[in-house]
Amino acid sequence: MRLLIIEDDRDAADYLAKAFREVGHVADLAADGEEGLAHAIDGQYDVLIVDRMLPKLDGLSIIGTLRSKGVATPALILSALGQVDDRVKGLRAGGDDYLSKPYSFSELLARTEVLARRHGGREEMVYRVGDLELDRLSHRVTRGDGEIVLQPREFRLLEYLMKHAGQVVTRTMLLENVWDYHFDPQTNVIDVHISRLRSKIDKGFAQPLLHTVRGAGYMIRDSK
Amino acid sequence: MTANDVVVARASEVAAKPPLERTLERKGADGSVVAPPWLARKTAERMAALGKLLRTTAFKLTLVYLIVFALFAAFLLGYFAWNTRRLINEQITETVDAEIQGLGDQYRQGGIRRLVFAIEARARRPGSSLYLLTTAAGEGVAGNVGSLATGILDNPGWFETVYRRVDEQDASEHHALVRVDQLPGGFHLLVGRDLEERERLYDVVLSAGRWSVAIVVVMGLAGGFFVARRVLTRIDAMTQTTRTIMQGDLHERLPVVGTGDELDRLAINLNAMLERIEALMHGLKEVSDNIAHDLKTPLTRMRNRCEEALRAAQSETQYREALQGTIEESEALITTFNALLTIARAESGQARDDMVAFDAAEIVRGIGELYEPLADDKGLGLKVEAGTATWVRGNRELISQALANLVDNAIKYGASGGSVVNGHPAEILLKAADRGDRILLSVADNGPGIADADRGRVLERFVRLEQSRSEPGSGLGLSLASAIARLHGGELILEDNHPGLVSALSLPRLPPPLPTA
């Protein structure tokens, strides 16, 4: 995955680049808005990570300009402004995701990977992971020969996990995408939902599919 | 000129000018009459006050009104005087015309003898009538006019002239309006009226006019002064208060007299504004106090943990554990910080911009669904009663968050009372109820509840009651819910559930929207 990080805080940018390279990605840096815009237009990037407040040209303007030029590279906005209306503004300006500072690297990594994949496009009608199958049209879930009966929300949870099969999905991502809530609940409610789902899809099978990734989130994957 | 020269010049200037006080003293010692300084000060103060008064809007307005009114009064009186004069003249001409006509008839019927007789008879009557009959050469034949301005008798017509009466000794001149007529036979006949009466009336009107204009001016000035003073005193009081407020005392309020006039309305509005500003300032201060006080504790803990690890950790595992702990601690800090920011934003009303109308029952169902597995995990039943649509206007996200906090609390404390209460399994009830003009979104649990005395206190930031110290949490959940309720023009109500706690967001109700075609 090729990334462009547009961030004026040197330390933060270096830290991010280093962390992304450690997990095997290519990361370029731009220290101000104009440089970032030029790089984003020229380079072939999979994802842009854009700080919102930048010298010379602010993050939202960069994304606006890119979109008006027809550059559709997915962009994740990083910002210290984390309130609901700030994120709405960011997404309206053409951003694809929004993460407020301070963030954890695992959260950022999970989100960028999802963005890169989404851009590649995975919109099949039937998701398959191992012997687990989810039909998005008929809302039927089967594993092996048996059908699994899910509540509507459990279905959406599984759908989201399977859409990003093989990728880490964080709790916040689930809360935002499956429930559409953008606040952090005091207790981790998602864990209980996941364990319910897990008992429905993994119980009685030798091979677990739904895995907990420590310190990051969850992943559905065929471990064979 | 060098810098030294400048200094010298300044010094000589100072020496040349003795202070004012000393000048006064010396003059006093000379024996000359000098006003004591306090009197001079008092006079200066009065002059300043007068100057201020003269500059006021009320006084200027009064002055303009006064000028307009005085001019109008003068014009009215002038018109009255002129009209009176015209009327008197008209009357005189009419009677004089009639008399000339009558005397002419006498002359034609009885000749000069009869005319002279008639004139003599009329001239003897007291009054202001004047008669004179002369020959063509100008010799007087009959009448009561002694002398006339020269040349009057030469031409027939109307004249205003001076004359003297025959019977008067003092020989004073009078004014008269006369008509001269030429009779056949060369005689000149003059008939007129003395104008003294007219002049006197004119004088009376004029002097009355002068007086009334003078009175109007004096009264107007006094009235203007009085009105200006009255308004000025109140405005001065307001200015004084605003100055105190500007110096930082936000508790001060502008005086309201209670008459409901413009100044009162202004003062009431300004006071409302001050109230709002004070509340905002108070909120801001509280937030910074709380941040200072309550964020420092976990920060200190974090720092100690790091130091401890640096000092005592032996193995990689121990370092790892310390780092893990630090991350957890900092995450809790971020949560607290976000909650504080959300409270501050809700209290300052910033979030009011993106409010929409939505069905609160749907939110209740959504939150119920989100928390049901968690409650179940703790051995609590979670029931949702939110069938009918209940419309409110607000920030969806914030209301969801407030409700989530209440449910979170209910789950945290609802289980601590044991899983069976009054023979029933302990449960949490989420309800959206329509109470007339209010919508109640309530969460009821069977936990230990909150004692009456503590209910007000738990809404404050960071307050955690003794029995809840062991539970994780920032102590901001209820105050956040309360701030969000207030942002929406509602309140957070805490009640007894016998046993347990009912916490409810009471929000203003909206009429359901019309179905869109």
Burial readout B197-214 (b: 16 or more C-beta within 10 A, e: otherwise): ebeeebeebeeebeeebe
Range with lowest mean pLDDT among A9-23, A65-79, B227-241, B365-379: B227-241
B366: which chain A residues are within 8 Å (Cβ-Cβ)? 179
B327: which chain A residues are within 8 Å (Cβ-Cβ)? 104
Based on the fold, state whether residues A147 and A87 are members of the same structural domain.
no
Q: Is A85 on the interface with B (CB under 8 A)?
A: yes
A182: which chain B residues are within 8 Å (Cβ-Cβ)? 397
Based on the fold, state whether residues A102 and A174 are members of the same structural domain.
no
Q: What is the pLDDT of residues B67-97, one digit of tens each?
A: 888 888 888 888 888 888 888 889 889 999 9
Residue in B330, B353, B404 nearest the CB of A185: B404
Interface test with B, best of A100, A106, A187, A188 (most B CBs within 10 A): A187
Largest CA distance in chain A: 60
Q: What is the pLDDT of residues B20-45, one digit of tens each?
A: 444 444 444 455 556 677 777 778 87
* Tokens, residue B51: 């100057």
- The shortest C-alpha distance from B517 to chain A (Å) reads 27
Average pLDDT value over all residues in chain A: 86
Could you identify the residue written with the tokens 């499956």?
A: A178
Based on the fold, state whether residues A136 and A94 are members of the same structural domain.
no
Q: Note the pLDDT of residue B285.
A: 80
Cβ B130 vs Cβ B163: under 8 Å: yes
Q: What is the pLDDT of residues B89-147, one digit of tens each?
A: 898 899 999 988 888 888 888 888 888 888 888 888 887 888 888 888 778 888 888 77
Whether residue A186 and residue B377 make contact (CB cut-off 8 A), yes or no, is no
Based on the fold, state whether residues A140 and A89 are members of the same structural domain.
no
Task: Tell me the three state secondary structure of residue B34.
Answer: coil
* Tokens, residue B275: 């109230």
Mean pLDDT confidence for B293-308:
82
Q: Note the pLDDT of residue B27.
A: 47
Q: Whose CA is closest to B177, among B196, B200, B151, B205?
A: B196
Q: Regarding predicted confidence, which is higher, B341 or B274?
A: B274
Q: Whose CA is closest to A96, among A80, A81, A79, A111?
A: A111
Residue in B354, B405, B412 nearest the CB of A85: B354
Based on the fold, state whether residues A139 and A71 are members of the same structural domain.
no
**CATH value of B53-245 in 3.40.50, 3.30.450, 3.30.420, 3.30.465:** 3.30.450
Range with lowest mean pLDDT among B104-108, B228-232, B410-414: B228-232
Based on the fold, state whether residues A82 and A185 are members of the same structural domain.
no
Residue in B376, B401, B408 nearest the CB of A187: B408
B477: which chain A residues are within 8 Å (Cβ-Cβ)? 186
Cα–Cα distance for residue pair A173/A107, rounded to 1 Å: 8
Average pLDDT value over all residues in chain B: 79
Give Cα separations from B245 to B35, B137, B235, B248, B362 (angstroms): 39, 98, 15, 5, 47
Task: Tell me the three state secondary structure of residue A181.
Answer: coil
Residues whose CB is less than 8 angstroms from the CB of residue A60 and which lie 6 or more positions away in sequence, other chains included: A52, A77, A89, A90, A93, A95
Q: How far is residue B106 CA from its own chain's centroid?
A: 82
Q: Is B431 on the interface with A (CB under 8 A)?
A: no
**CATH superfamily of the B352-508 domain:** Histidine kinase-like ATPase, C-terminal domain (3.30.565.10)
How many CA atoms lie within 13 Å of B465's alpha carbon, on the beta-carbon side? Answer: 16
B330: which chain A residues are within 8 Å (Cβ-Cβ)? 102
Whether residue A183 and residue B397 make contact (CB cut-off 8 A), yes or no, is yes
Based on the fold, state whether residues A102 and A190 are members of the same structural domain.
no
Query: Searching chain A, which residue's CA lies closest to the CA of residue B327?
Result: A104
Whether residue B373 and residue A196 make contact (CB cut-off 8 A), yes or no, is yes
* Range(s) of the domain holding residue A10: 2-120
Q: At residue B296, does pLDDT exceed 70?
A: yes
Q: Note the pLDDT of residue B233.
A: 83
Q: Note the pLDDT of residue B468.
A: 45
Give Cα separations from B413 to B139, B356, B410, B416 (angstroms): 137, 33, 5, 5
Q: Domain ends where: A120, A135, A165?
A: A120
* Tokens, residue A29: 């840096």
Q: Is A84 on the interface with B (CB under 8 A)?
A: yes
B370: which chain A residues are within 8 Å (Cβ-Cβ)? 179, 181, 185, 189, 193
Cα–Cα distance for residue pair A95/A73, rounded to 1 Å: 10
Q: What is the pLDDT of residues A105-122, one digit of tens each?
A: 888 999 998 888 765 555
Which amino acid, residue B77?
A: L
A189: which chain B residues are within 8 Å (Cβ-Cβ)? 370-371, 373-374
Q: Domain ends where: A66, A91, A120?
A: A120
Cα–Cα distance for residue pair B155/B188, rounded to 1 Å: 9
Q: Note the pLDDT of residue B459.
A: 66
Q: Domain ends where: A120, A140, A175?
A: A120
Cβ B227 vs Cβ B219: under 8 Å: no
Q: What is the pLDDT of residues B119-132, one digit of tens each?
A: 888 888 887 888 88
Please name the helix (run of DSSP H) or strand (run of DSSP E) that holds residue B429, with its range, or none: strand B427-435
Q: Regarding predicted confidence, which is higher, B492 or B231?
A: B492
Q: Name the domain count of chain A.
A: 2
Instruction: Please measure the distance between the N-terminal and C-terminal CA atoms of chain B and give it in whole angstroms.
Output: 90
Confidence at A158, pLDDT banded by 50, 70, 90: very high
Based on the fold, state whether residues A101 and A187 are members of the same structural domain.
no
Q: Note the pLDDT of residue B513.
A: 66
Q: Is A196 on the interface with B (CB under 8 A)?
A: yes
Cα–Cα distance for residue pair B288/B279, rounded to 1 Å: 14
Q: How far is residue B264 CA from its own chain's centroid?
A: 6
Q: Note the pLDDT of residue B6.
A: 45
Whether residue A186 and residue B366 make contact (CB cut-off 8 A), yes or no, is no
CATH of the domain at A157: 1.10.10.10
